[in-house]
A = this chain, B = another copy of it.
Amino acid sequence: MPCPIARSLEHVGEWWSILILRDALLGLTRFDQFQKSLGIAPNMLARRLNALVAGGLLERRRYSERPPRDEYVPTARALDFRPILIALLAWGNKHFTPEGPSVLLVNTRTGATVDPVLVDSATGRSITGPEYALAPGPAAGERTQRRLASAREAWRSGTPRAARPRRKPSVGRRGGTNATK
């Protein structure tokens, strides 16, 4: 798949991979630490760690020869994943923590809670603004170009479309149908 989102998900498109990365970026390095933190089966953890090493996200380093033991240290590629983790944190805090947030991003100089927002580095404006859209890059094939051409308005006009008034179901006509396609 040429889509860069799909390419990213080839490396982190699995719940455990992202939580391992989270823990690695929070300072855990050893197999037993990850296992204790995540409550994950050892064979699954070994598989995920191997995939993250193969994908260039973690570096395996021998820290003991007898017995042979490795630690796992985030690479620059993993550090570049931090904005995605923080964006997931902010989204989770906004939508899925009815009891209030248990983890916050803070500015340690001021103590203020941080509201993280994804902006255009050139203008400082939020990338969800109407002037931003997805467009084909130099490596785009025909299919990508077609899809993005038809998607542009949907992406930009997301908010009004989703806010469209909900139609009332026509009572008495829906029973017994459960088709989803």
Contact = CB atoms under 8 A, between A and B. Distances in A.
Contact of A50 (B49, B76, B114, B180): B180
A22 to B, nearest CB: 6
11 contacts: A4-B92, A4-B102, A5-B18, A5-B85, A7-B92, A26-B154, A69-B179, A69-B181, A86-B127, A105-B127, A105-B133
A134 B104 contact: yes
Interface-central residue, A31, A62, A148, A170, by most chain B CB under 10 Å? A62
Q: Oligomeric state, in number of copies?
A: 2
Given A127-B114, A162-B73, A96 B134 contact: no
Nearest to A176: B68
Interface in A134-149: 134-141, 144, 147-148
Interface of A: 2-11, 13-15, 18-19, 22, 25-27, 31-32, 37, 42, 46, 49-50, 56, 59-62, 65, 67-70, 73-97, 99-109, 112, 114-124, 127-128, 131-141, 144, 147-148, 150-151, 153-156, 158-159, 161-164, 166-167, 169-170, 173-174, 177, 179-181
A150 to B, nearest CB: 7
A139 B150 CA distance: 44
Contacts of A90: 4
Contacts of A107: 120, 122-123, 131-132
Contacts of A138: 100-102
B91 A108 contact: no
Given A88-B9, A131-B109, A119 B117 contact: yes
